[in-house]
Structure 1
Amino acid sequence: MANFHQLKVLEVKKETKHATSIAFDVPMELYETFNYKPGQYLTLKFNINGEEVRRSYSLCSSPALEEPLRVGVKRVKDGLVSNHINDNIKVGDLVDVMPPDGRFFADVKKDNYKTYYLFSAGSGITPILSILRTVLFTEARSYVYMIYGNRTEESIMFKQELDALQEKYGDRFILEYTLSRPKSSWSDLWKTSNEHIFRKGRVDAEAVKWFINEYPLYAQNTEYYICGPGTMIENTKKALKTIDVPDERIFIESFGANASKDTTEAFENAKLTANLNGETIQVSIPKGKTVLRTLIDAGKKPPYSCEGGVCSTCMCKLKSGKIHMKNNLALTDKEVEQGYILSCQSIPLTESIEIEY
């Protein structure tokens, strides 16, 4: 199991009114430990109001460049950790950080000759930015087409950085912004040709089809990367499937579930048998508790990060019984068929269940 390391905050930068990026200093002896692939995330640990909390945030820095590790954190309504970071973290602070992890990443190589389509919305830009910068810097023969959705121009994270990349790599990088609530005025009629004109709308099926028709692939070896809220991901993937893009070329990272409320009832006080780190643990699952939280409350140390069903750190295998996952944004259908579950999202449906980490 990966351990946490204390890293010093090097820079705190306001990216928008509601989003901040945090850069960390990695001591030389930890360079190898914190090596990462573009698209992966860091797990941060804090003690807030006497409670240990962990959250995963995607790296927006590039492993191909000599630069500090950097994550982007956007405020979430009632978000305990995101608001704590935006309000309180300052240069010089020490933060407990787990080494990089995650299954959403691009296999970037100098000799690659590919077309990349990047679809992002909101804070979903963070891992996409890491992939974008790494590809542009490393793969001189590859082309990147990117569409990035936000509500307003003011809410676009890393806009200055993205515009600079477009100017520098304009011969092989196309960027389209789309805004769901653009501000318009009479001054728009007199915009100069070098000022950006934004597309109106969301990153939805219509936008995806328009984008791909407008910018057809350059190299036949093509990959599609999607990161944003659940609905945006579903719409984008459906649009790609209508043009026969195979599943193995679509890579997804979700930054939030759909708004539908889960009302599934758990089997109250079900018996849990958990095989963890060579130990067999038997404990009852109280009402309202997940498998993961039950083990933590019992003083055990199961692996976990986000507790949002996104990162897959808490993945384990269901050996017997039945469970319901309240949210699953990490496991594939095949993995679920094989019996893998996210313990942070799992509640029991039978009198007893057995799991193995």
Structure 2
Amino acid sequence: MSITLADARVVTPGGVHDGWLTIEDGRITHVGRGTAPGPGLGLGGRYVVPGFVDVHNHGGAGASFPTGDPEQARRAAALHARHGTTTLMASLVTAPLEDLARAASALADLCEDGLLAGIHLEGPYIAASRCGAHDPALLREPSPQELARLVKAGRGQVRMLTIAPELPGALDTVREAVASGVLAALGHSEAGYERTIEGIEAGASVATHLYNAMPQLGHRDPGPVAALLEDERVTVELVNDGVHVHPAMLRLAYRAAGPGRTALVTDAMAAAGAGDGRYDLGALKVDVTGGVARLAGEDGRLGSIAGSTLTMDAAFRRAVRELGLSLPEAAEITSLTPARLLGLDGHLGSVAAGKRADLVVLSDDLEVAGVMRHGNWITEP
């Protein structure tokens, strides 16, 4: 089946141009300028950007990936797909090893079916003092042998591990992750500048939600943020929801790392797309008020930030409006850079001939007007 999208403003890595594109068998075959050579679906001058790629996401639509429930996973993925995320990694949280293995095995089925792009283990090898919305009673010292068992349970679909490099056994576990084809991400950590560098040298190549759950920048004690930003081998995650990080610090990170090493993520939890209320995040309760998720305290007070209610289309809009990025720059950090991180940039991440037809149609005000995945409309414009 062949589809032509005409009268579009096509956002490519090289810029934005008035034009058209054709799609056959789920792939983009041509990207042209000006008037389409034949009949097609007219988009009325709306923008076409690549489908968003989210490598850190715990759920949405009231559903949670850490449960390992396939129906909840499908519901969460569907919510984010409607908001333009066509490639999605499911993030788990700290839990007993047997629960993590069970969830990884269940979600591996959805990865093999193509619904999910992989599994991210955020914990249990993180620092108690920086655990955020993770149950501190379930944290463990890193173990290469334990990680190998979790990777085996995930049948090759575990793609990322967040780990605190200062913990005993952490560097060996980073090496085990990398040897198993798993991205090692540094985060939820008390590590200083030097120890963070040791983690990178051991093979870590991602910063889990930079700034959050780690020591902050200091002019005498630079901490992990400086080490992660200055190393060209590291891709930095940023949560651009107006809550996790001030826009000035987002701009600072973007200027330091550049578009090629900056990946916007949602860190979304079940409340994304579901409204305020109380939700589960692993073993913990989370209260969402005004769209902000925080741990529910026993005395009624709210605790640490507990993920977000962000969707990638909102992150894209904020990148343009709050950070001052161009549309191609915003597309790069919401699609191409995270696709490259997963080794998928040859297949997706930009609007280009030969790539998969994962596309988002945006209105003048950058609201989602249509979403296509694998050449099929999820939401038709």
TM-score by length of 2: 0.28
Q: Which has the higher strand share?
A: 1
TM-score by length of 1: 0.29
Q: Which has the higher contact order (CA 8 A, sep 6+)?
A: 2
